[in-house]
Amino acid sequence: MAATSGKLNWVVIPPVPSSSFLSLSANCNGSSELVKETSDLEGTASVIHVKKSISQKPPRFASEPTQEVDSLKSPKPENGHSCDGCSKKSGVVSYQKHALANNTGVVSESSLGDSQEKCGGHPIDDASVVQSSTPWPLKLADFVLGDLDDSCCEKEGVRQGKPSASNFLNNGSQCGEAKDSFVTAEASDETESAAKSSGSIKVSSPCRYYVGSGKSSICRGSTSSDVSDESSSSSFSSVANKPHKGSDSRWDAIKAIRLRDGFLGLNHFRLLKRLGCGDIGSVYLSKLSGTRDYFAMKVMDKEALASRKKLQRAQTEREILQSLDHPFLPTLYTHFETERFSCLVMEFCPGGDLHVLRQKQPGKYFPEYAARFYVAEVLLALEYLHMLGIVYRDLKPENVLVRDDGHIMLSDFDLSLRCAVCPTLVRSANTDKDSSKKNLGYCVQPSCTEPTCAIQPSCIQPTCFAPRFFSSGSKKEEKKNRLKNEVYHQVKLLPELIAEPTSVRSMSFVGTHEYLAPEIIKGEGHGSAVDWWTFGIFLYELLFGKTPFKGSGNRATLFNVVGQPLRFPESPTVSFAARDLIRGLLVKEPQHRLAYRRGATEVKQHSFFQSLNWALIRCNSPPEIPKPFQLNIPVAASASEKVAGVVVKPSGNYLDIDFF
């Protein structure tokens, strides 16, 4: 992991153990079979043809243990679809075939709306091709989801033209209604409802395939599902791995219960309210019984996951969550499995998501300072993910949650793509301030196969570390600029860290229509540059209140993404710097896109962020602090309590819980 190079003696220490990458070696119970391996045109990538077959079992609908509340039971899907009460905001597309299979921008009829009729309901038997620079074929995983179900309800605030979710954990009749009601795991007389209505609808398609795999923790859990204990298996993300989070009492609370009972399971939690649902599970606000600690618990029905070929997605999400340790990414406190459910216990974000928050802004767009704040935090999260070799692929306001302190948390990793990456320190020796524009000076070694590698002598290339300084003309400003230039000369020789997984290639068609990068739509194969495209769309949407290529329908949107030039509306007024950044990001050819080679480093140096102190970003005042989270819970209690930001008040048969 450590290496030296010439005069420099830098060590790059990625924040996760390399084992999280290296563990990908075999698929869950051998259901994926490597049938062919060839090399790509350049000879640098592996092309893997994998044949996958998963035994398909119909979802079970039998009664569950009393601790597992009714709300968690799966409705029986009809014709393979389950239009349910998903309150999801986001439409995620994933097609087995590429919608625009040619470069002309002409939408292929047959590829749009691929659904279960075509391939769902049958064991997956498709060959998937994933290209990667990694020499170990099965270290790369490409996970995609399911089928279009446009029949699901749309509601206010839902992105138009979204494929709809078929969420098996929800009651099919709810269809987006968001009425609070109450669920407890301790009492069996609960009721429940979809909690959050702000979401778009999410698509799912069972006709997905994937390559790669790994030790399947979910499968490990499944194999132990004959254990009658409710918590048949659990994994504990120890705070020992995250010592800086030691002051977080939730670690201790979980640990104490595990010490006391020997395990942690669903019956240790009260599920208070459904916060939302996605394609592979529902998320509940949960309270750890006997404590005052709240969590967001994602509950996934394992049978339904298996029957809909989503086990791998769930596993991907869990493995990624386990590897994360970043202020703008979720903390996974623990994971456990019951006989039926797989549960992820995460940090709870009471502030909703940026999609909802944007709708509440005057004009439904954010002022520039607020947009800068949010995208800057997202940028750091993406930078970290890329450093871990994770291409996020699903950036959109719906997936950016707001913490109680107003800072953000990027969520939802089940569409992410994992690959090997070579974080590399590159020494700056180029005094050309505009070199970043020319995309020169990078050196990210595609041949590097280790996620943890240090500087390599051959990587010491000239790069641009130059912040951009603009002359304003006045003497005062000139003096200021002189000072800045001195700083620049001091820092120009500093190395910069590049951790962009530039050479990964996936052929999956995955994402959200309005956010899909052209190369995904055209089926050309895509890599980490898709995150920079979506970052541009994201910034555009925050600033203008809409996405740039949205058409009258999904096909028109895809056509526009590929063929229409970028345009900015006349209002609201947005700075030149912001528009310049968006222009750089929304370049249709990925290789000419800003950040294509040097990743977040390039974006951070853009003048849009000139006023930002990246090192102190967590000290910045958020544009908005979320209002207290309101929750009514029917319990018989008479005393008030106020603990750690949570106020519990008796209210008749209810308690009002306010989060501050």
The catalytic residue positions are: 394
Both tokens assigned to 169:
């954990």
Residue 84 near ligand ATP by CB under 6 A: no
In the complex with ligand ATP, the residue whose CB is nearer, 90 or 115, is 90
User: Is 522 strand, coil or helix?
Assistant: coil
In the complex with ligand ATP, the residue whose CB is nearer, 379 or 510, is 510
d(CA 526, CA 279): 23
Q: Which one of the spans 64-72, 217-225, 280-288, 496-504 is the region binding ligand ATP (CB under 6 A)?
A: 280-288
Question: Per-residue string for binding with ligand ATP, 41-80, x by CB under 6 A?
Answer: ----------------------------------------
Q: Do 637 and 650 touch, CB atoms closer than 8 A?
A: yes
Q: Nearest-5° angle of CA 327, CA 282, CA 92?
A: 80
Both tokens assigned to 179:
């009425």
Both tokens assigned to 317:
């999400």
Number of residues interacting with ligand ATP: please give it, by CB under 6 A. 26
Both tokens assigned to 221:
């859990």
Residue 308 near ligand ATP by CB under 6 A: no
Q: Which amino acid is at 275?
A: L
Residue 279 near ligand ATP by CB under 6 A: yes
Q: Do 282 and 271 touch, CB atoms closer than 8 A?
A: no
Q: Which of 230, 412, 496, 541 binds ligand ATP (CB under 6 A)?
A: 412
Q: Which one of the spans 341-349, 556-564, 572-580, 625-633 is the region binding ligand ATP (CB under 6 A)?
A: 341-349
Q: Which one of the spans 7-15, 249-257, 343-351, 633-641 is the region binding ligand ATP (CB under 6 A)?
A: 343-351
In the complex with ligand ATP, the residue whose CB is nearer, 94 or 502, is 94
Residues 6+ apart with CB under 8 A from 22: 139
Question: Per-residue string for binding with ligand ATP, 378-407, x by CB under 6 A?
Answer: ---------------------x-x------
Residues 575-634 close enough to bind ligand ATP by CB under 6 A? none
d(CA 214, CA 139): 8
Q: Which one of the spans 16-24, 249-257, 276-284, 578-586 is the region binding ligand ATP (CB under 6 A)?
A: 276-284
Q: Which one of the spans 275-283, 333-341, 367-375, 612-620 is the region binding ligand ATP (CB under 6 A)?
A: 275-283
Q: Which of 52, 98, 250, 298 binds ligand ATP (CB under 6 A)?
A: 298
d(CA 153, CA 531): 29
Smallest separation (angstroms) from ligand ATP to the CB of 143: 10
Q: Which one of the spans 118-126, 409-417, 519-527, 600-608 is the region binding ligand ATP (CB under 6 A)?
A: 409-417
In the complex with ligand ATP, the residue whose CB is nearer, 266 or 578, is 266
d(CA 547, CA 565): 13
3-state secondary structure 160-212: CCCCCCCCCCCCCCCCCCCCCCCCCCCCCCCCCCCCCCCEECCCCCCCCCCEC
Main-chain phi, psi angles of 160, to 5 degrees? -65, 145
Residue nearest to ligand ATP (CB): 278
Residue 301 near ligand ATP by CB under 6 A: no
Smallest separation (angstroms) from ligand ATP to the CB of 196: 5
In the complex with ligand ATP, the residue whose CB is nearer, 348 or 442, is 348
Q: Which of 192, 347, 514, 541 binds ligand ATP (CB under 6 A)?
A: 347
Q: Which one of the spans 347-355, 530-538, 542-550, 587-595 is the region binding ligand ATP (CB under 6 A)?
A: 347-355
In the complex with ligand ATP, the residue whose CB is nearer, 405 or 486, is 405
Helices (H) and strands (E) in the chain, counts: 14, 24
Both tokens assigned to 300:
């996934």
Both tokens assigned to 165:
């979710």
In the complex with ligand ATP, the residue whose CB is nearer, 320 or 466, is 320
DSSP letter, residue 474: S
In the complex with ligand ATP, the residue whose CB is nearer, 168 or 442, is 168
User: Is 632 strand, coil or helix?
Assistant: strand
d(CA 397, CA 541): 8
Q: Which amino acid is at 359?
A: Q
Q: Do 371 and 361 touch, CB atoms closer than 8 A?
A: no
Q: Which of 159, 162, 161, 163 is nearest to 147 (CA)?
A: 163
> In the β-sheet with 654-659, what is the strand arrangement from edge to edge?
629-634, 654-659, 646-651, 641-643
Question: Per-residue string for binding with ligand ATP, 158-197, x by CB under 6 A?
Answer: --------------------------------------x-
Main-chain phi, psi angles of 196, to 5 degrees? -115, 130
d(CA 391, CA 590): 14
d(CA 394, CA 374): 16
Smallest separation (angstroms) from ligand ATP to the CB of 87: 8
Q: Do 389 and 21 touch, CB atoms closer than 8 A?
A: yes
Question: Per-residue string for binding with ligand ATP, 190-219, x by CB under 6 A?
Answer: ------x--x--x-----------------
User: Is 66 strand, coil or helix?
Assistant: coil
Q: Do 159 and 68 touch, CB atoms closer than 8 A?
A: no
d(CA 278, CA 200): 10
Smallest separation (angstroms) from ligand ATP to the CB of 310: 9
Q: Which one of the spans 408-416, 507-515, 540-548, 594-602 is the region binding ligand ATP (CB under 6 A)?
A: 408-416
Residues 6+ apart with CB under 8 A from 503: 44, 45, 132, 133, 444, 446, 527
Q: Do 211 and 141 touch, CB atoms closer than 8 A?
A: yes
Q: Which of 254, 277, 448, 648 binds ligand ATP (CB under 6 A)?
A: 277
Smallest separation (angstroms) from ligand ATP to the CB of 517: 18
Smallest separation (angstroms) from ligand ATP to the CB of 88: 5
Q: Which of 47, 349, 542, 561 binds ligand ATP (CB under 6 A)?
A: 349
Residues 93-112 close enough to bind ligand ATP by CB under 6 A? none
Residue 276 near ligand ATP by CB under 6 A: yes
Q: Which one of the spans 104-112, 227-235, 411-419, 594-602 is the region binding ligand ATP (CB under 6 A)?
A: 411-419
Q: Do 284 and 271 touch, CB atoms closer than 8 A?
A: yes
Smallest separation (angstroms) from ligand ATP to the CB of 139: 23
Identify the burial level of 617 via C-beta atoms within 10 angstroms of its C-beta, where 0-12 means exposed, 13-18 middle and 19 or more buried.
Answer: middle
Give DSSP secondary structure letters for 122-174: S----EEEEEES-SSGGG-BB-------TTS---TTSPTT------TTS-TTT
Residue 88 near ligand ATP by CB under 6 A: yes
Residue 348 near ligand ATP by CB under 6 A: yes
Main-chain phi, psi angles of 449, to 5 degrees? -110, -10
Smallest separation (angstroms) from ligand ATP to the CB of 243: 22
In the complex with ligand ATP, the residue whose CB is nearer, 351 or 441, is 351
Q: What residues make contact with ligand ATP under the rule CB under 6 A?
A: 88, 90, 196, 199, 202, 275-281, 283, 296, 298, 330, 346-349, 353, 399, 401, 411-412, 414
